[in-house]
Structure 1
């Protein structure tokens, strides 16, 4: 709260200085707008789509995150992650360099960055060999505006959102330039409570288990960055970048009412009830430092770029999960199980990159470079489980009296070294035809050691060692048939390494019989992409994509009726002599077969009625072909009934964003946005269709922008997944994240509007960021 009060004070105290510069900049700003709006807003260039948003009414008063959601081919269904249509995720670059932040803090930064700072957005659906991205990820490259004179400028933004709970945020950004020195800094803070309502149901024809209730997650965030860039001479620059982010989530909890249907000791099917209460406290810190040196080697644009970076990530988490027997009315009785966990994670990474681009006079470019990443993750997990009999006495899992809880500590350390090299050739053969070819070669050596892995063979060895090399080719061609028609093709191959949290062999309990489990045996997966693009009049486009994924890394539900054992570890029998079982469900993070994704998307980015209406529209089909099979827990070796997903599905995708200018002076704007994703088969089952209708109204008053946004007006953005196996097992997930809500924001730009932003520096550890939790 103190941080927000401080930012609010800065916000209003800056108005006096800002108003003095307002009159000087107004005329120039209007002239710039008039010129910019005559440019081609959306066009295809070589290996990327370019969306020119400078001075556009879509950008004014928006955040960078909101603007990205309105960019052609880009979408977000959860307001947390960005996705390029036909791809897994979107990796964010700024001025051609990957952002030096983890996923969570990057989202918060984009939500607190005014869109007025952005000149254009580039969407690279198939990145070339020079980019360090994994899997089928695409790239969104944000090009910031550049202004030429010395001085100070900045912006301040405050906002308040109302969903299930109220949340608030604020941020201040400053840019300063004096001769050869440039400094850019930002501080932002937010406070929110994320509310979700779950219905989880699984079972077979004999037994079933349903958990229903709320999950509440309060969060306080504080983050920012500091960039210092110094021009050593006309050809070289030295820069230092520091990024920091902190999150605190104390009092996060869930309250689930469990309904269990199963045969009792007499062989009669009965219904039992319990309540699971989970309390979790966590905090995380992410700090990274990057040193950059850039040298221009000629006047054609050739340059050498060197980076060295250090990343330190810490997460501390403690959870107390308690399950109580109860009746239908919810009255508490004795506790049946208490699970107390401590799951810290510490990541240290050192990274370095070398990139050299050589340009020749005949429109020929050669790029060569390499990277080195050394990462160590330390996960010292503590787990104490308390079982109680019906009289409240402490027992083990077989019902035998004990005096202390069952402890299952696990200290898992993961070391990884990655060596990467790339070479690309790019040639413009004529004004119409250009091509690019290249490849990456990556060497990965990793070692995971654990005191207790659960698997007898691995526990004896105490180590999981991986060594693999990958050759990753890339090729693309672009042909401008004439001024109105452009066609291009690209092929790429990539790897998808598991995130560090996916490798940590820890269980995260929702109830005592329902939990997620990570897997240190997960192997890197391979992804092969083909893409054909056609563009007409720089306004209409067709994108056809095919992706093949080998050894897909995902989460798979394994469930079974586990035989109940007595104190002698013998099966417990009912009155009819049948074994008594308890239902168990594990969501296992592992490799799960192969998958193909095919999509065809047509779209439009165009203005109508003398630029009163700006419209972005995409519609297409996606076909998923799944081929996965799993029946064994990779850590414990426990065998489950087969989980099979060999289902194909076809899905309709629609996205449209529309901005209507309501007055001639360009001060009032109305926005209406809609997206729809049809039913589609994913690894967990059939994902029911999702859609959201959003609207906003915006008022621009000099350097002030006031905006009111309403999200998910129809309350249709809810996740429902169903799965039915031929062996009779079923699984059902219903998740309501309360996306319906509204947001009120105020943005103020002040200072010398001509200040040139300093270089946004690439980071050597750019690939590692996406693999932190």
Structure 2
């Protein structure tokens, strides 16, 4: 069945269950007017709180759109969310981490209406009780409380147009009867992710330019089922199942390559043209099951929480990559190199967590708990290379086993109405073993690592008076490599250009400090410093590759190697305001800041093969990044009410990220102007969004090395486009939501992408 038919079925089948609800419009408007006068944005202990319950920003938007307009949050690729001064953002719902991998979570947020959200909490420095990595922050979505029995739900249908057309739909329903609650969601869609790609690299004697298009068609189908049952007045049990499937068939990369090399015999430059074509079929499945038990142990809020979970992730990927030269007729039919790869990956994870929170009458709270994760990844890669030497098979069966044991203790005390503090620590033990039956070197056949980490945490909060608040937080974290980063496979782009994953990548450490000042719960200043040790990133190595036996490649190559690349510091200062003006006709969220990056990394040897890189004169080429950069960041989101009845709204959003030094070189400035028009009519909301109106959200990275090598990347992802969406809410809107549960395997899911 074609996806557009499926989308229509999801949407219109929901209409059959829709219940017409009569509303007193005047009464509703009065309630909204009162709610809007509350403190919309404020600082609470270790988090920022954005109250959107009655705000027009939420109406008709998706949850992802709402998060993009939340203070301190942003996105530059319309896929991943970032917190100001942080690398990544983890999404929680009602204090529990979402039980999805990155891809399915993004689609879920984009297909979920935002009407049911009460508030959004932004935790920039998470405490020891959270299982997060590196400099990750947390976005905690708090749903509205609904108390009565009955059925409610919503439907959303959207169509987008940028380079290609895309469509999506979702249907959600909530049911509650006495002690039983059931929540279910079904969503699907299809789209083609398109890019125009330019890659230039080389030096004064050699250059390569690859220009072309990348088209990746995707069909998605996913959903969840949550069942929550109240055993007694003090205990609950819940079962959660999440499922997501993606199919990407006939994904294509078509690049025209221009190679220009100096010939010392003729003392002239010679130019050679080739065509690289890649065809890929891939599909992936993600299923997870989580069982939760919660017991309230006293009237003060003390409770015990137990979780057991199973996660199964499968990805099957088949690629056919060839580089072709011209024949005598000018057609690209002469095979230079062809590589066929079969790249399956299977991940199984068993997890368990125990958390106990003990509250005392003197505003003192003790939290302690532990977690266990057992993960096995199986990567049975088959690689066949066709060239002048015939066919060269290079199979590699890589298996990675990992066990993580974690314990934490947190002490929190409210000393007075003005002063409170939290101190804690997390202790983690990691044992891992990677084995390969046909690795290119003996060092890659067996890689065993055993290490432990003590990760302290401290936060202090002081309310000077009703208008002024100041807080400080320190956190130590680590980042383990994703499972795909450890799988030693090559993703080939052209004959001489590929990316290489690295089983030698080890965990990196991060130390975060943050000082925050807030005035009148509307204006804020955030000072942040982060130190990264053994940064996990991708590093370009180029030149004539020399193996350990002395063999030198015939052509200059460019390899993007995943590895640990030195240390890095990030320092930032952010000024912001979140406030309504002109009797709430204008609501604005404005941030402006400056960020200073200090990079210190050097790489001379390919860690996966031991190859070194040389120029034609016999000089070794080393990639270095010992550079600093200072950049400006601006973000503003504005909602303008166009009528007195609060039914028409105009949105104007803009972000600007100044050029900055990253591991691959200098990332040039990015900016985007987005606009939206929204109409609210009873239970229906119609919205039109136009993204990247100026077509300025294009990635450009360039790097020049002191040894003469240069590297340039231009990536146009066609962010300019329009989306029209329809949202309908039906049923008893006071239905109590099913209790959202944190899965025991949630910290593993983020590493599958």
Q: TM-score, normalised by structure 2?
A: 0.97
Q: For the Cα contact (< 8 Å) 1:4–1:170, is it kept in 2?
A: no
The answer to whether the aligner puts 1:340 opposite 2:377 as a matched pair is no
Q: List gaps (5 residues or longer) in structure 2.
A: 614-620
Inter-partner Cα distance in structure 2 for 1:697 and 1:70: 15
The answer to whether the aligner puts 1:607 opposite 2:580 as a matched pair is yes
Q: For the Cα contact (< 8 Å) 1:340–1:385, is it kept in 2?
A: yes
1:432 to 418, 424, 437: 418
Partner secondary structure for residue 233 of structure 1: coil
1:512 to partner: Cα distance: 1.4
Q: Can you list the C-alpha shifts for 1:587-636, whole angstroms capped at 9, x where unaligned?
A: 00000000000000000000000001000000000000000000101111
Task: Report the CA distance shift for 1:585/1:330 in structure 2 as closer, same or farther (over 3 A).
Answer: farther
2:661 to 659, 676, 681: 681
What are the equivalent positions in structure 2 for 1:412-423 lying under 5 Å apart?
412-423=398-409
Inter-partner Cα distance in structure 1 for 2:191 and 2:339: 27
Q: Can you list the C-alpha shifts for 1:245-269, whole angstroms capped at 9, x where unaligned?
A: 0000000011000001114595543
Inter-partner Cα distance in structure 2 for 1:209 and 1:329: 23
Inter-partner Cα distance in structure 1 for 2:709 and 2:45: 50
Inter-partner Cα distance in structure 2 for 1:260 and 1:317: 30
1:117 to partner: Cα distance: 1.1
Q: For the Cα contact (< 8 Å) 1:209–1:583, is it kept in 2?
A: no
Partner secondary structure for residue 116 of structure 1: coil
Task: Report the CA distance shift for 1:330/1:655 in structure 2 as closer, same or farther (over 3 A).
Answer: farther
The answer to whether the aligner puts 1:515 opposite 2:495 as a matched pair is no
What are the equivalent positions in structure 2 for 1:436-447 lying under 5 Å apart?
436-447=422-433
Q: For the Cα contact (< 8 Å) 1:626–1:647, is it kept in 2?
A: yes
Counterpart in the other structure of 1:399: none
Partner secondary structure for residue 87 of structure 1: coil
Q: For the Cα contact (< 8 Å) 2:128–2:456, is it kept in 1?
A: yes
Q: For the Cα contact (< 8 Å) 1:275–1:330, is it kept in 2?
A: no
Q: For the Cα contact (< 8 Å) 1:151–1:752, is it kept in 2?
A: yes
Q: For the Cα contact (< 8 Å) 2:7–2:189, is it kept in 1?
A: no
The answer to whether the aligner puts 1:721 opposite 2:704 as a matched pair is no
The answer to whether the aligner puts 1:593 opposite 2:556 as a matched pair is no
Counterpart in the other structure of 2:643: 663
Partner secondary structure for residue 769 of structure 1: helix
1:480 to 463, 479, 486: 463
The answer to whether the aligner puts 1:46 opposite 2:45 as a matched pair is yes
1:232 to partner: Cα distance: 0.3
Task: Report the CA distance shift for 1:420/1:16 in structure 2 as closer, same or farther (over 3 A).
Answer: closer
Task: Report the CA distance shift for 1:305/1:28 in structure 2 as closer, same or farther (over 3 A).
Answer: farther
1:29 to partner: Cα distance: 4.3
Inter-partner Cα distance in structure 2 for 1:328 and 1:498: 48
Partner secondary structure for residue 770 of structure 1: helix
The answer to whether the aligner puts 1:558 opposite 2:538 as a matched pair is no
The answer to whether the aligner puts 1:448 opposite 2:434 as a matched pair is yes
Counterpart in the other structure of 1:303: 303
Inter-partner Cα distance in structure 1 for 2:364 and 2:654: 43
Inter-partner Cα distance in structure 2 for 1:373 and 1:49: 31
Q: For the Cα contact (< 8 Å) 2:3–2:190, is it kept in 1?
A: no
Q: For the Cα contact (< 8 Å) 2:545–2:611, is it kept in 1?
A: no
Inter-partner Cα distance in structure 2 for 1:560 and 1:10: 53
What are the equivalent positions in structure 2 for 1:19-418 lying under 5 Å apart?
20=20, 22-24=21-23, 29-263=28-262, 266-267=265-266, 268-326=268-326, 331-387=331-387, 395-396=388-389, 402=390, 405-418=391-404
Q: Can you list the C-alpha shifts for 1:153-201, whole angstroms capped at 9, x where unaligned?
A: 0000000000100000000000000000000000000100011011100
1:582 to partner: Cα distance: 1.3
Counterpart in the other structure of 1:712: 692
1:623 to 574, 596, 605: 596
Inter-partner Cα distance in structure 1 for 2:706 and 2:524: 42
Inter-partner Cα distance in structure 1 for 2:208 and 2:353: 51
Inter-partner Cα distance in structure 2 for 1:380 and 1:546: 42
Q: For the Cα contact (< 8 Å) 1:691–1:716, is it kept in 2?
A: yes
Corresponding pairs, count: 745
Q: Can you list the C-alpha shifts for 1:183-233, whole angstroms capped at 9, x where unaligned?
A: 000000010001101110000111111100000000000000000000001
Counterpart in the other structure of 2:618: none
Q: For the Cα contact (< 8 Å) 1:25–1:753, is it kept in 2?
A: no
Task: Report the CA distance shift for 1:40/1:759 in structure 2 as closer, same or farther (over 3 A).
Answer: same
1:331 to partner: Cα distance: 2.8
1:10 to partner: Cα distance: 5.1
Counterpart in the other structure of 1:744: 724
Inter-partner Cα distance in structure 2 for 1:362 and 1:4: 59
The answer to whether the aligner puts 1:761 opposite 2:747 as a matched pair is no
Q: List gaps (5 residues or longer) in structure 1.
A: 388-394, 397-401, 572-579
1:326 to partner: Cα distance: 2.6
Task: Report the CA distance shift for 1:523/1:177 in structure 2 as closer, same or farther (over 3 A).
Answer: same
Inter-partner Cα distance in structure 2 for 1:529 and 1:603: 21
1:146 to partner: Cα distance: 1.3
1:635 to 608, 617, 624: 608
Q: Can you list the C-alpha shifts for 1:713-745, whole angstroms capped at 9, x where unaligned?
A: 000000000000000000000000010111000
Partner secondary structure for residue 556 of structure 2: strand
Inter-partner Cα distance in structure 2 for 1:386 and 1:633: 24
Inter-partner Cα distance in structure 1 for 2:655 and 2:611: 42
Q: Can you list the C-alpha shifts for 1:298-337, whole angstroms capped at 9, x where unaligned?
A: 1111000000000000000000001100389973231111
Partner secondary structure for residue 187 of structure 1: strand
- The Cα RMSD (Å) is 1.8
What are the equivalent positions in structure 2 for 1:689-704 lying under 5 Å apart?
689-704=669-684
- Which segment drifts farther, 64-73 or 319-328? 319-328
Runs of at least 4 residues off by over 6 Å: 327-330, 568-571
Inter-partner Cα distance in structure 2 for 1:499 and 1:485: 41
Q: For the Cα contact (< 8 Å) 1:259–1:273, is it kept in 2?
A: yes
Q: Can you list the C-alpha shifts for 1:88-126, whole angstroms capped at 9, x where unaligned?
A: 010000000000000000000000111101000000000
1:27 to partner: Cα distance: 6.5
Task: Report the CA distance shift for 1:744/1:235 in structure 2 as closer, same or farther (over 3 A).
Answer: same
1:766 to partner: Cα distance: 1.1
Inter-partner Cα distance in structure 2 for 1:719 and 1:735: 5
2:510 to 527, 551, 561: 527
Q: For the Cα contact (< 8 Å) 2:703–2:712, is it kept in 1?
A: yes
Q: For the Cα contact (< 8 Å) 2:47–2:122, is it kept in 1?
A: yes
Inter-partner Cα distance in structure 2 for 1:504 and 1:32: 55
Inter-partner Cα distance in structure 2 for 1:263 and 1:406: 31
Counterpart in the other structure of 2:616: none
